Structure 1
């Protein structure tokens, strides 16, 4: 396991706060209230380790396949439905959405290989990630990857806790399946928009792994 580069500043800041809280705790409480100081140390250590876990990247054997659409994120499948996609395609599409909890790995990966033909950031609200309107009203970053099989739209969507979306792609860039697409700090949601008729290989409420689970077959 490694730590993602997006976590260095957050972990450093958390470590500083952890140190200051416990230095103050043992100075002012250590002699007269040692149990209280110990409780503060344990609670702050658990919180610090939890923050570190946000930015972990576990070692995985990534799935590859020209016809496969691989899950771009860890989490739980919360939506599988046909929609009228109004941002890019302007027609009916199949949407599969993955909810990322704070406990999930937060790196996002390219579901397919191809050329980035669309990349746009949208300001928006911070509705809870499972809200039906979060896909269109929340802060989000949309990218479309095109290859000879299909065009796949991926939306990184902010939620009530996730207030920073990071995207590494640019229009005209050739990307490879499984490589990093971006990062959402502290979890939220990723939507994958596919052609109608695409075979979906996951089910509602299924737990999936980014870069590993086959989401659909083109």
Structure 2
């Protein structure tokens, strides 16, 4: 099972949850039943920042989903970070998905790039190039290069990434968070075999997105 320092509720959510509960409790104290909408908001905040542990599939060359959500792109694309052809798989997260981001593979962090940008709907392909984003280049022990890119969405205004060059990541390890609707793009080496299709619903860590080339 992937290691999570703050299981069940993401550490990023505690300030928001504390404020939401405090406001709801205060309105309840002074206004009784009129506090119901505030408790609904508190429940929404609670579900948004949930961060459950996940089982890590075992196998050679597996690429795990870095996020919960829906597959919106699978196919050949240019990895502009590593300047190469690649297989791109994109996961779109709506506001009801878990928003913790996990490493898709075991490996070392070779580089991290942050790019400011706009905030168009993350469901659109142009979000990959136009929106605020943070890319992490991971190299596996077998020398395969994988780029995992956190992309901000229409509502999101804060991408959080907790790794830097030289760090090591285990497959399924939590490495970042994006607040509210967003997406994660994964660029894989040519010859990688996708195991998902557009429209599939995936779970971070527990869903296998693809297999890396064997030779």
TM-score by length of 1: 0.89
SS of 2:113's equivalent?
A: strand
When structure 1 is superposed on structure 2, of 111-120 and 10-19 the one drifting more is 10-19
- Give runs of aligned pairs for residues 1-218 of structure 1, distance below 5 A: 2-26=8-32, 38=33, 40-86=34-80, 88-147=81-140, 148-218=142-212
8 Å Cα contact 1:127/1:134 also seen in 2: yes
Cα shift readout 1:78-120 (whole Å, capped 9, x = no counterpart): 011211222x221221110000111111111110011100101
SS of 2:41's equivalent?
A: helix
Rg comparison, structure with higher value? 1
Matched residues, number = 205
List alignment gaps of at least 5 residues for structure 1.
27-37
Cα shift readout 1:162-205 (whole Å, capped 9, x = no counterpart): 11111111101111111112111123100000112210000110
Note the C-alpha offset of 1:55. 1.1
Partner of 1:35: none
Q: CA RMSD in A?
A: 1.4
SS of 1:15's equivalent?
A: helix
Supply the distance in 2 between the matched residues of 1:192 and 1:64 (Cα, whole angstroms): 19
Supply the distance in 2 between the matched residues of 1:2 and 1:217 (Cα, whole angstroms): 29
Supply the distance in 2 between the matched residues of 1:153 and 1:59 (Cα, whole angstroms): 23
Cα shift readout 1:32-90 (whole Å, capped 9, x = no counterpart): xxxxxx2x32222122101111111224322233310000100000011211222x221
8 Å Cα contact 1:129/1:158 also seen in 2: yes
Supply the distance in 1 between the matched residues of 2:128 and 2:78 (Cα, whole angstroms): 12
